[in-house]
Amino acid sequence: MKIDVYENDKTISLKVYGDIELITIKPFKEKLFEIGDKANKDVEMDLYDVDYIDSSGIGILIILLKLQKKKGKKFVIKKASPRILDLFKLTSLTDLFELEI
């Protein structure tokens, strides 16, 4: 898995490549917690190049969402691959996350 980070005055944008699962979760978790703890900006995430996300990955996304809400900032999923979007729909995560797809 790879994460590209782009930042401007108001927003941190993340582009994620590869599967988000227990085997690859450590760098994903570290990067998101670093952003969630230190940055006082809105966060946008692009999951278009992610084909699979397991429960550990979803858990990390929920934690980041909570951190952002606690700071009064947004966490938006700007893009998601069709498989990830289907997963979000099946698990009712579309009701939890702000999606701009």
Report pLDDT for 89.
93
Is the pTM above the cut of 0.75? yes
State mean pLDDT over 14-31: 90
Q: Which CATH superfamily is domain 2-99 in?
A: STAS domain (3.30.750.24)
For residue range 46-85, list pLDDT tens digits in order.
Answer: 999 999 999 999 999 999 999 999 999 999 999 999 999 9
Neighbours of 30 (CB within 10 A): 12
Vertex 31 angle, CA 79 and 44, to 5°: 25
Cα torsion 38, 9, 29, 60 to 10°: value is 100
Q: Which residues pair with 74 in a beta bridge?
A: none
Express each pLDDT in 81-101 by its tens digit.
999 999 999 999 999 999 987
d(CA 5, CA 56) in angstroms, rounded, equals: 21
